[in-house]
Amino acid sequence: ASGTTNVALISTGVLAGVYLLYAIGWLIGGLRLQGRAMYLVTDVMYQGSLWLAALAPVVWFGTVLFTTRHSSAWVRYVWLAAGVVLLVPWPFIMIGAVGL
């Protein structure tokens, strides 16, 4: 994009990396919880919700970039920061990559 500063490009790249790590965290955390959640929902329902949770950070990032392309930079970064707070991969944080 013309007129985009180096700081804005680097900030967007760092946030893109955070969102990618969030997607991986949701996937790993969800796979770790799969054995424990099978008594609550069927396998098909769990797999569907697992993939939706893993894709949510990617969809949020893409949607924010698409919808704020004509807005001020601060609007874009407020929405990206809100996504960083809202989409924390709690299963990965609570159980971790190793599991219990």
The pLDDT assigned to 1 comes to 47
Q: What is the DSSP string of 10-22?
A: HHHHHHHHHHHHH
Cα separation values, 40 from 25, 35, 44, 86, Å: 22, 10, 12, 24
The pLDDT assigned to 4 comes to 74
Residue of higher predicted confidence among 35 and 18:
18
What is the C-alpha R_g of the chain?
16
pLDDT higher than threshold 60 for residue 2: no
pTM: 0.84
The pLDDT assigned to 97 comes to 59
| DSSP 3-state of 4 | coil
Q: What would the pLDDT profile of 34-93 be if each residue is shown by its tens digit?
A: 777 667 778 888 889 999 999 999 999 999 999 999 999 999 999 999 999 999 998 888
Token pair recorded at residue 99: 């599991």
Distance CA 100, CA 94 (A): 10
Average pLDDT over residues 17-46: 85
